[in-house]
Amino acid sequence: MPDDRHALVIAELDADMSTAAASAFATLIIDYFKEARDGRGPVSTSLATSLIAERFDEPMPMEGAPLAAVIARLQHDVIADSNRLFHPRAVGHQVSPPLPATIWTESVIAALNQSVAVSEMSPTATPMEHRVVRWMCDLVGFDGSAGGTLTSGGTEATFTALLAARSVAIPDVWSNGVGEDPPVVVCGEHAHYAVSRAVSELGIGSRNISVVPSRDWKMDTDALRKTLDDLASQRRRVMAVVATAGSTATGSFDDLDAIGQLCESRGLWMHVDGAHGASALLSARDRARLKGIERARSIAWDPHKMMLLPLSAGLLLVRHERDLENAFSQRAPYLFHDAEGARAWDQGTRSFQCSRRADVIKLWVAFQRYGARGIGALYDGLCDATRAMYEVLQAHPSFETLHAPESNILCFRFVGDGSLGDGQLDVANRDLRERYNGSGAGWITATTLGGQRVLRVTIMNPRTTVRHVREIVDGLAREARGG
Ligand SMILES: Cc1ncc(COP(=O)(O)O)c(C=O)c1O
């Protein structure tokens, strides 16, 4: 009987709102914390994706199961073979072992389910987002006309920034499109693909990207000056210059002050992709790496990277809030209206998404619980551990480093006894990473740098110490010798 079914599900909903149900979930997570945190057990699964896929190869459940059974499946089928980011030898990609209070806050965000597009749908989260954006603008050095929005991450933040820059370069673009002679976007050789993707998405076309070569893995500012001179002499309009603060490959910081001055002197929009490195603003020691960031017209900043928030928490800041408003000329009378000044608060008029999670709550909780200084100290610790790894590698005869770390990312290469040629070393490094990660002892990444295949670490775990980085290097050396 349909009515019985409805009553049954309502009873299940009620049961799942109990402390017992919440405790069952909390216990699951706490057990995971305990196991991963102490470095017991493997960092990652040894099972192939196709094998893991078999356990999910089942028809859609038409009947529900007891919560205990669902939790048991989460434990065995999901958690057991997930990457353990809390493991101190998990030093792979730019994803965090999240700050614990922000993990619990995820449940609060989901429970309240406030959409921050419209202030009437999020009476507390909307003013909170305005306040947190203001805090971040203050860190940058933007004045009262600045604004911003949370985003799903750096990709959306950079897309939105370039959308805003496009509206300034082509004021009638919303109605008439980009036309036959779109402007140029200038970026560094090591810019994240979010930049080129956005340029194509925005209809500018990838052939209108001008790539500036790097020197020491960061934008060569002399080459930028020459690029801008060349474009001016060709009478090409420049829509934006994108600088990177904390590049994906090496964690290097472009010279924002020099790039910003060049942009200012020519009236150009500087966008700073600080998805990875803008969090250095919280570090008393490292904020100097961002000198000149206040010259930016827009900034992408991912708290889900070096502020150690769980996915997703991205941020876009703009020097003039009106730039964001002009970027989206959306009319939606069913959503946005002028009642009692609501429009000034509604973030939906300034952001890409319609329904949007109140991710700002976990950012706010991070500041409340750990403080800007506490988070800055964690940032410093990650950089210190990376520096320690650099020193261990430098002293090791079988490895060479490709750069001194400027943040928590480091690229290096296995070189063995020096007898292998470049091509053989490429193969050796690729195989070494596969074998090491497959062993479960640690987890690192790889990239191509200067035409060479290299190994790469991103230290995201505040519990990764000098001992662990030694263990990682020793483990790699052992694996290279054949295990
Ligand atoms: C410099 C830089 N920009 C942008 C991104 C993209 O950020 P997200 O994955 O949050 O969209 C990354 C991430 O990996 C990055 O390192």
Burial class (CB in 10 A: 0-12, 13-18, 19+), 363: buried
pLDDT recorded at residue 329: 77
Any ligand 1 atom below 6 A from CB of 273:
yes
Q: Identify residue 58 by its one-letter amino acid code.
A: E
Long-range Cβ contacts of 52-60 (<8 Å, 24+ apart) = 52/81
User: What percentage of the chain reaches a pLDDT higher than 70?
Assistant: 97
Q: CA-to-CA distance for 381 and 263, rounded, in angstroms?
A: 34
Ligand 1 atom with minimal separation from the 94 CA: 14
Ligand 1 atom with minimal separation from the 277 CA: 1
Angle between helices 193-201 and 154-169 (to 10 degrees): 50
pLDDT recorded at residue 301: 98
Which of 155, 253, 309, 447, when mutated, tests ligand 1's pocket best, judged by the most ligand atoms within 8 Å of its CB?
Answer: 155
**Is cis: bond before 312, omega within 30 of 0?**
yes
Beta bridge partners of 413: 400
Nearest by Cα to 192 from 250, 232, 134: 250
Ligand 1 centre to CA of 301 (Å) is 9
- Nearest-CA residue for ligand 1 atom 4 is 154
Ligand 1 centre to CA of 399 (Å) is 28
State the pTM of this model: 0.97
Task: Name every residue whose Cβ is closer than 8 Å to that of residue 242 and which is 6 or more positions away in sequence.
Answer: 158, 162, 185, 186, 187, 188, 191, 195, 270, 271, 272, 273
Ligand 1 atom with minimal separation from the 305 CA: 10
Any ligand 1 atom below 6 A from CB of 155:
yes
Q: At 340, is the pLDDT very low, low, confident or very high (cuts 50, 70, 90)?
A: low
Domain 115-357 has CATH 3.30.360.10: no
The structural domains of the chain, with segments of one domain joined by +, span: 115-357
Predicted confidence (pLDDT) per residue in 212-270, tens digit:
999 999 999 999 999 999 999 999 999 999 999 999 999 999 999 999 999 999 999 99
pLDDT recorded at residue 344: 87
- Least confident range of 73-77, 138-142, 253-257, 322-326: 322-326
Nearest by Cα to 312 from 150, 159, 100: 150
Higher-pLDDT residue of 173, 331: 173
Q: CA-to-CA distance for 184 and 208, rounded, in angstroms?
A: 5
Predicted confidence (pLDDT) per residue in 205-221, tens digit:
999 999 999 999 999 99
Q: Could you tell me how many residues make up the chain?
A: 483
Q: Which two tokens stand for residue 456?
A: 């790469």
**Mean pLDDT rounded to a whole number for the chain:** 96
Ligand 1 centre to CA of 228 (Å) is 26
Query: Across residues 428-445, what is the average pLDDT?
Result: 97
Q: What are phi and psi of 34, to 5 degrees?
A: -60, -45
Ligand 1 centre to CA of 152 (Å) is 11
Any ligand 1 atom below 6 A from CB of 94:
yes
Task: Name every residue whose Cβ is closer than 8 Å to that of residue 370 and which is 6 or more positions away in sequence.
Answer: 99, 101, 378
DSSP H or E stretch at residue 385: helix 360-394
DSSP tally for the chain: helices H, then strands E = 16, 13
Any ligand 1 atom below 6 A from CB of 248:
yes
Ligand 1 centre to CA of 275 (Å) is 5
Any ligand 1 atom below 6 A from CB of 244:
yes
Nearest by Cα to 331 from 355, 308, 348: 348
Ligand 1 centre to CA of 296 (Å) is 18
pLDDT recorded at residue 295: 98
Any ligand 1 atom below 6 A from CB of 154:
yes
If DSSP codes are grouped into helix, strand and coil, which group holds residue 143? coil
Q: CA-based angle 73:77:78, to the nearest 5?
A: 100
